[in-house]
Structure formats: structure tokens, C-alpha cells
Structure 1
Amino acid sequence: MPPVSRSASQPELTTLFASVQQHFVDVIVPLWQGPGWNADMALPYEALDGEHRPLPPQRYRAMACARQLYLFASLIGQVPGAEERASALFRSLQRHFHDAEHGGWFYSIDAQGLPQDQRKDLYTHAFILFACAHYWDKVREPLVESVLNACLEVIAQRFATGDGLYDAVLDRDWSSLASGPLQNPLMHLAEAFLATLAVREDPAVQQALVELCTAMQARFIDPQQSVLMEKPLGSVDNWFEPGHQFEWYYLLESSELLRGCALHASLERAFAFTEQLGVDQQTGAVRAMLDLGPNGGTRDATQRIWAQAEYLRALTLRPDSEAHVLRQLQALQQRSLHAGGWYECRDEHGAVSRRDMPSTTPYHLATCYRGLAEYLG
């Protein structure tokens, strides 16, 4: 890690971080142990409303189950019942979403538990790998590692396109849907590879990760501004997202293996540009989607809590960043957190535009707070 300065503001930052962590443990996590948990299905509801009531279920996604598995695995030893909940989520992942006929995991089931969208998507498989790596690190059960290995196998054999990249979506039987690669699933695959390497030596995963980052540099980095686009270069109607820029930056900067690679150098060069275009200097709000080019500008100014969390986490790895970290943590607490949970989105004017609380968001807060804990540690 690069050196970070320490100043008189650290006691204030430490106190504020203790407060948001307590809010996480006392308010947010219990939402998913209580009203957000469908005990009959042994799955989290997709979202709660502002009064902590489950939104009427239309579906349950494997990705959402995996994110909650990560959440509770990360809390084992810290929160009562976390290990039992992680165990239940791991079993539900296999029971509800595993495709016994073709291998891999379905995208979603319906409200009755029947397969709904049976396609195989990389985003889901990346989160299953990520969650299993963290869970296996805590429990070391052979069954968990066998699922981790099975996930690695289908990613390498089914999704890989032979050039370091991976298809975003395939049909249930693994036949092509001509989706091609997309930035967001590939970022979470890199995150999952890093999580795997953190818990065991794995030369094949290490090689795949390096090849993925090399291919991302060649196929997704804009040559003028060094920002990472959401679709491969040359795609029609392309854009970039500041939240994903910051998320990638954290993954690369925090990894001894990846720090210094060409992709890391690009994200380092683009950091100030991304802040300039993508972060409101008055409020610290991160804009959702930006265009490049002669007519570039804001495509979507929605302020999402996950992007706020990723910007804050990225700042912990910037030099001389303490004042910025404090300011952004204050912004997160004041603009995104409240006594009953969190605000998922604000609109371009800063007004709350979504009051529901999705089951997938605590993953972003957990990874952000983990980064903050390491920064302050």
C-alpha cells in the first residue's frame, strides 16, 4: 500500500467511522436477519421498502443470494447468527440456482421458487466465486471449496473467449447469445479472482487475472482520457461510469500483483479527470453515467449509494487523502444513511428518488467499510 498521511483530523475520522460501522451492525444487518429474510425460501427478499416491509417478490436472483453470502461470511465472529445465516445462504445457492443438467447457476427463480431466467451470466458466476472464496476462508469446509472450484471451471471452460476476456451472457445450455464482453461483469470477475488468490495459491487464477487486465487495457481503455468504458472500444452508444472507475482503481491499487500494470497506470492517470467530471465538488455526490467525445457530458446524474461507497473506498488509497476521506465519509453518512437504513438513490438535484433498500447494497457498504478499517488500522 502507498503511504498515507496522518493529521489532526484522524480522531474525528476514527470517531465518525465507528459511528457508521455501529449503524451498519445495529440497523442495516438486522434488516436482512429479520424482515428481509424469507424463512420459507431461505433467501433474502430482493428489497425492503422505507418501512422495512418486503416488496412483493417477483423473483430471487442467484447474484443477490451470493452477495448476502459474502455479507454474512464477512461478519462471522462479529455478529451473532452470522455463521448460521451464511450456511443457509450457501445451501440455498445450491438448492435453488444450481443447474444440475448443464452445470453452472441460473440467473433467477420466480416467487414460487421455479426457474425463471435460466440464462448463465458472468456477473452472477463472478459473485458466486467471490462469495465462496470469502466463505471458505472462514469455514474451510471441503464442500465450499468444491463449489468454488466448480465455479472457476465453468468460468474458464464456458465463458472464456480465448483472448483474456469472457462473454457476459450465455444460454442455459452454454450456447452463444452473441453478448460479447462487458465491463461490469469483468470487473467483478477480477474482484473474485483477487478474493480467490487471497485465500489460496492458484497459478491458473493468477494467470487468468493478469490476462484479463491486459485485455481490459487493450479493449476498454479510451486512448485519449484513459478512462475505462462500459463496452469495448468502437461499440455504438458507449459511456463510462465514475463509480466503476473508482471501483477498478481500488482493486488494482490494493493488489501487489496488479499495481503497476498498464491498466492500473491508466486508471491512475484518469483519476483526477474522473473526479473533475464525475464528482460534485460541493456535495461529494458521484454522478452515475458520463459521455466522452466532443459532445461529452453527464448522461445520468443520479447519485447512487454504491458509487459513493466506491469513491470513498478508492480515496483511502490516494496519497495525502485524509481530509478527502473524512469529507466523503461525512457525505455518505449525511446524504445516504438514515436512522432506518439508507437511501439508495438521489436525483440530479439531490432529492431522494428511491426509498427502497435492495438486498444487494450491503455488499458495497461492507467492502467500503473494510477498506476504511484497513486505512485506519
Structure 2
Amino acid sequence: MNTAADFSSTAFREPHTLKQHIFDTLHFYYPACIDQKNGGYIHEYYDDGTVKNTHSKHLVSTARFIYIFSVGALLDGPDWCKEAAQHGIRFLQNSHYDREHGGYFFEIADDGEVKDDSKQAYGHAFALLASSIAYQAGIQEAKETIEQIYDVMEKYFWEDAHGFYRDEWDASWSASSLYRGQNANMHMCEAMLSAFEATRDKKYLDRAYTLAKGVTQQLAERSGGMIWEHYDTDWQPDWDYNKNNTKDEFRPYG
């Protein structure tokens, strides 16, 4: 086991080593992650690189693949970095996107069947982050996705009276969850910063500022200076949400 002193002196403090580590990671996934048959990426692997699951296509995982390959392109990596990111943007637009109602499905199967048709702010935040970095990497079609996600978030998720995004809708935008959460807003803040960096449109920076200030000041005041995770519809802390549920990986207690 490395001590703190050992870690502080490792080569991972050197930019060229970090860059090489990034490309080593990309090579671990590519080209095995490209689903040539159904589009998008294959998401799940064992530690040795063996494919674990070819059937599920999760919005967050799709976005993360787009992000890392876009970073590879920005670091002047091989041509396949940009091509792999474009591959993901096309899948995001053609398969995750709900052409009937708008917004992005949370999970679909490899055959295109929708497995989880909920519209979640958390997933949309990752899609916005991915499309923003892809646009920075020179993938022009990602600009449409940036604008599309922002418009959906404004129309359905933004609660102007509170200054935060609500968490979840059903597929047709007919019913909204009573749950409110810090996590989706934190990720949306990050995504808005990336969208600003990609487009230089100040509306994204302004929204990031509103979210950051609201969470670290307004919400923190309601929870004794802590950044609490879970809230009710009035954005008051829900101290007991998931208290006895250890299975929810997206909304853990605390």
C-alpha cells in the first residue's frame, strides 16, 4: 500500500504521465466498446476487459463514453477518439432521444426498446456535459444537443420560484416525482459550465452561478451548514429519505 509520501512523489504528478494514463484507459475500452450492430457503446466489463453485459444502454454511461473520447480528441489523440465520440452523439440523438415527447430516456436496450422511460435531470446533466465537451472537440452536430437539452430543462425541470431543477418526470411529462435532490443540480452546474466553455453563451454561466450559490448558501442554511442530498417539493431537507435503503446507488442516504 502506498503511503501519502509515496503517492505525492509518483509520476502521476507529471502532465505527460497523466496524458498517457488517459490514453491507456481509452485503449482499454476501444474498440471493444463500440457496438457496431446496435449503435452506441457496450457499457459493462470485467476487470480484464471481458464484456459483461451487451444489453443495457444507460444514458449516463453513454454520456461518459462520449466525454472520455472527446477528451482524447482534445488531447490530440488518434483519429478514432473523435470518431468514437461522434458515434456516441449519434446514438444519443437517435436512440436515447424521445422523438414523441422530447427529452432523453434514462435506459434503453440494445435493440432500441426502452427499459426505463423516465426523464431525469441527473441523466440530462450528463448528456449536456457530454455534448458540450464533444462540441469543444470539433463535433459540430453536438451543438444541437446542447441547445435541445437546455430548452427541455427550462421547460420541464426548472423551478423558477426556488432556483433549482426538479428531479424526474414520466415519459410524457404528465407526472413529476415529489423528490428533489442536490445531486442532479450539482451535475447540472458542472454541465452548464462546460456548455459555457463550449459556446461562450452567458446564459449557461449565469445558470451555473445560480445553482452554485443556491446550493452552497440557500440550501446549506437550511441544513446547519451542510450540503444535504435530499429535499421535499419546497426544498426543505428530507432527513429520512432512503435512510434504511442501501440499494439506491443514485440517491444514497445522507
TM range (shorter): 0.7 to 0.9
Match of 1:196 in 2: 195
Q: Is the 8 A contact 1:98 1:106 kept in 2?
A: yes
- Deviation string, structure 1 residues 211-255 (Cα, Å, up to 9, x no partner): 22233232255653x33111134303259xxxxxxxxxxxxxxxx
Match of 1:314 in 2: none
Match of 2:218 in 1: 218
Q: Is the 8 A contact 1:160 1:167 kept in 2?
A: yes
Q: How do 1:317-356 and structure 2 match up within 5 A?
A: none
- Closer, same or farther: CA 15–170 of 1 in aligned 2, 3 Å: closer
Match of 1:110 in 2: 109
Q: Is the 8 A contact 1:229 1:238 kept in 2?
A: no
- Deviation string, structure 1 residues 35-77 (Cα, Å, up to 9, x no partner): 3332212322221012311113342112211111111111112
Question: Is 2:53 the counterpart of 1:53?
Answer: no
Match of 1:237 in 2: 240
- Closer, same or farther: CA 192–213 of 1 in aligned 2, 3 Å: same
- Displacement of 1:172: 0.6
- Which range moved further: 177-186 or 150-159? 177-186
- Displacement of 1:133: 1.1
- Displacement of 1:176: 2.7
Q: Is the 8 A contact 2:38 2:110 kept in 1?
A: no
Q: Which amino acid aligns with 2:185?
A: L
Matched residue SS, 1:43: coil
- Displacement of 1:181: 2.1
- Closer, same or farther: CA 144–207 of 1 in aligned 2, 3 Å: same
Match of 1:262 in 2: none
- Displacement of 1:80: 4.0
Q: CA RMSD in A?
A: 2.8
Match of 2:249 in 1: none
CA distance in 2, matches of 1:15, 1:58: 35
Question: Is 2:134 the counterpart of 1:135?
Answer: yes
Q: Is the 8 A contact 1:59 1:110 kept in 2?
A: yes
Q: How do 1:273-284 and structure 2 match up within 5 A?
A: none
TM-score using structure 1 length:
0.56
Match of 2:143 in 1: 145
Question: Is 2:153 the counterpart of 1:155?
Answer: yes
- Displacement of 1:186: 0.8
Match of 1:75 in 2: 72
- Displacement of 1:290: 8.2
Query: Which segments of structure 1 move beyond 6 Å, counting only runs of 4 or more?
Result: none
Match of 1:345 in 2: none
CA distance in 2, matches of 1:290, 1:99: 31
Match of 2:36 in 1: 39
Unaligned segments of structure 1, at least 5 residues: 1-8, 240-288, 292-377
Match of 1:364 in 2: none
CA distance in 2, matches of 1:237, 1:171: 24
Percent pairwise identity: 20
Q: How do 1:258-297 and structure 2 match up within 5 A?
A: none
Match of 2:99 in 1: 100
- Deviation string, structure 1 residues 244-272 (Cα, Å, up to 9, x no partner): xxxxxxxxxxxxxxxxxxxxxxxxxxxxx
Matched residue SS, 1:75: helix
- Closer, same or farther: CA 138–22 of 1 in aligned 2, 3 Å: closer
CA distance in 2, matches of 1:138, 1:234: 39
- Closer, same or farther: CA 164–35 of 1 in aligned 2, 3 Å: same
CA distance in 2, matches of 1:137, 1:51: 32
Q: Is the 8 A contact 2:22 2:72 kept in 1?
A: no
Matched residue SS, 1:55: strand
Match of 2:174 in 1: 175
CA distance in 2, matches of 1:109, 1:72: 21
Equivalent pairs counted in the alignment come to 233
CA distance in 2, matches of 1:82, 1:237: 44
